[in-house]
Each structure stands twice: as C-alpha cells, then as structure tokens.
Amino acid sequence: MPDLQYSIFEGLIILFGVLSLIPVFRNWKESKNRMYIAIFVYNIGVIGYSFINVLTYILEIDTNVYLVGGLRFGYILGYILFTIQFEFMLYLRGLTKLYTLPFILSFYLMIGNILNTSVMPFIIYAVIVSYTPAYFLLRDGKKKRNGLAFGMGLFFLTWGIGQIIPVEIVMEIFRVIAIFMFFLGTRGFYEKYIFVNQEEEQKIMGTWISKFVVKE
C-alpha cells in the first residue's frame, strides 16, 4: 500500500514536471535563450528520476538494497540527479571550466560509498548542490523580478530541505511541493502575485480610490 501512495506522489511530480516543460519550451522558441534548454534538460532529469522511482515501485525493486559495499541503488539515482543539478548550477554561473567537476565528484563519492557505508557524504553533497543554486536563483530572481528563476530557487530550496529529512513520506511531500513551486514559476504566478510593481499598484489604487471619492 505505501508503494501506491509513493507512486501517486511520483505521478504528481511527473505531471507538474511535464506541465512545466510546455511553457519553458515555448519561451525557448520565442527567445532562443540557451538557459531555457538547460532548464528543460534539468526538468527532464527530474521527471526521469521520478519515472525510475515509479518503475522501482511497480517492479518492487528495493532501492535501499546494497549493490556493492555500502552503495545503494537509491544512492546511484541520487548521484545522477545531483550531477545534473550541479551541472545546472555551474551553467547558471557560467563556470565553463568546472563542467567536469560534478561528474568526477559524484564518481568519487559513489566509490566512497562502496568502501564506506556512511550516509554523511551523500547528505553533505545534497545540501551543497541544493542550497547553493537555491540562494543564487532566489537572489537573482528577486532582483530581476524573474518568476521562473525565483520558482526554480524555491524548487531547489524545498527539494533540498526534503532531501535531508530521512522520513520517506516527508521527503516525497517536499518533492511534490518543490515541483509545484517550479510549475507556478513557469506559469508566471510569481510575477503576477509576488513581484507586484509597487508604483503601478499605488497608481491603480489611487485611481480606484479617487473614483470612489468623485462618485460620493
């Protein structure tokens, strides 16, 4: 029964992920900005991760099973996602020279997991690759009033918080919230309701109130 419950969560992640892909693709077609391609690829990575998770539930594969030494199947999936996440962060900051770092780091950590059963390196890596892009995206998104960037920042932040809570159901809920926040970002929610232009708002309010005053 818990498998069905998790499959529903993963299904929601896939649904919001796919729904987010459409506006991102449309934006890319309009502007030809390569950043949208990066977001698109990252989003596909997230959907792929959830899809594999659903498959593991259907095929009843235990992701907590140790494959070699202390390396679990779930860790491999996690490292793949972190590599994409880290790569995305480097792309955002324009650090071309460091593009090979995520692959090598993930590889060493995976080998480390074979030799050592400690979960700490995995958690530290998850925190670094989740919170760092979250900080940059939230900061830049807020400064430039870019809802997509802000949404991605919230996504990384919520996803990161979920990763460090070792209770699977809580982790899943956080992941669903994260993808939903990203989905809102792609739909222009934050521009509309959070980054409201104060001056414009005052002007509208002023006109609105003055209309009432005139009427009275």
Partner 1 sequence: MVEDILLESLRQAGYLLSTILIPFATLIVGRKVLKEKKSTGRYNIVRLLTFGIFLCFALMSFLEFLVELSLSPLLNELFGFNIESINLYSILIGTMVSLGLCLVFYANRWEPLYFVSFFIFGGMVIFYYLTGFDAWLETYIQIAGIISLIFIYFTSFRVRDNGALGLGIFFTLAFSTLVIEISYVSQIMIISYNVFILILSLGYFRIFKEEVIS
Applying CB under 8 A, which residues contact partner 1? 96-101, 104-105, 108, 111-112, 115-116
Q: How far is the CB of 107 from partner 1 (least distance, A)?
A: 8
The SS3 call for residue 66 is: strand
The minimum distance between CB 63 and partner 1, in angstroms, equals 24
C-beta closer to partner 1: residue 35 or 194:
35
The distance of closest approach from Cβ of residue 116 to partner 1 in the complex, given in angstroms and rounded to an integer, is: 6
CB of 126 vs partner 1, minimal distance in Å: 18
For partner 1, the closer CB: 85 or 146: 85
Nearer to partner 1, 61 or 105 (CB): 105
Nearer to partner 1, 48 or 121 (CB): 121
CA dist., res. 62 & res. 72, Å (int): 9
> Of 97 and 215, which CB lies nearer to partner 1 in the complex structure?
97
Q: What are phi and psi of 99, to 5 degrees?
A: -55, -25
CB of 98 to partner 1, least distance (A): 7
